[in-house]
Amino acid sequence: MTRISLTVDGAKVSDDVEPRTLLVHYLREQLGKTGTVVGCDTSNCGACTVHLDGRSVKSCNVLAVQADGAEVTTIEGLANNGQLHPVQEAFRECHGLQCGYCTPGMIMQSVDLLKENPNPSEEEIRLGLEGNLCRCTGYHNIVKAVQYASEHGGAQ
């Protein structure tokens, strides 16, 4: 076992973990952050996307021990005092989801995209989300949601 200490959604946590434990499994199984979804376990789908020190990563591709000392934000940590993050609100407003399985990862990647480029074109949005797969929507409303978020403070 290896002792790790990190900040998750603003709360400091310390735990003993097996060195081979993936960050996604640590978040879900030890911290109860089940909004971070296990989609493929091979980093292909992006459903497990979280922010690690402010950058989006696929948490099925990061060991929990690699997050030692880091700050992690999950989908549960985006809302502030009960107010949805502007990107969460945009996905709700534009119905940027269907079954919802990919939604947490899409939102986390979209937040990172808008931080890097607060006013992306449709093509830039599609390129920015290409590592996140949706098998239901055809992406039209997801792209609309990111455009809406960019116009309503999503780059915060």
24-62 tens-digit pLDDT: 999 999 999 999 999 887 888 999 999 999 999 999 999
Query: With bands split at pLDDT 50, 70 and 90, how would you rate the model's confidence at 130?
Result: very high
Measure the CA–CA gap between 76 and 152, rounded to whole angstroms: 20
Superfamily of domain 86-151: [2Fe-2S]-binding domain (1.10.150.120)
* Residues forming a β-bridge with 83: 80
Output the pLDDT for position 26: 98
Domain segments of the chain as ranges:
2-73, 86-151
Whether 156 and 89 have beta carbons less than 8 Å apart is answered as no
63-114 tens-digit pLDDT: 999 999 999 999 999 999 999 999 999 999 999 988 888 999 999 999 999 9
Q: Which fold has domain 2-73?
A: Ubiquitin-like (UB roll) (3.10.20)
Beta-carbon contacts of residue 82 (< 8 Å; ≥ 6 apart): none
Is 155 a residue whose pLDDT tops 70? no
Whether 67 and 75 have beta carbons less than 8 Å apart is answered as no
Identical fold for domains 2-73 and 86-151, yes or no, is no
Specify the 3-state DSSP secondary structure of 126. helix
Beta-carbon contacts of residue 76 (< 8 Å; ≥ 6 apart): 9, 33, 35
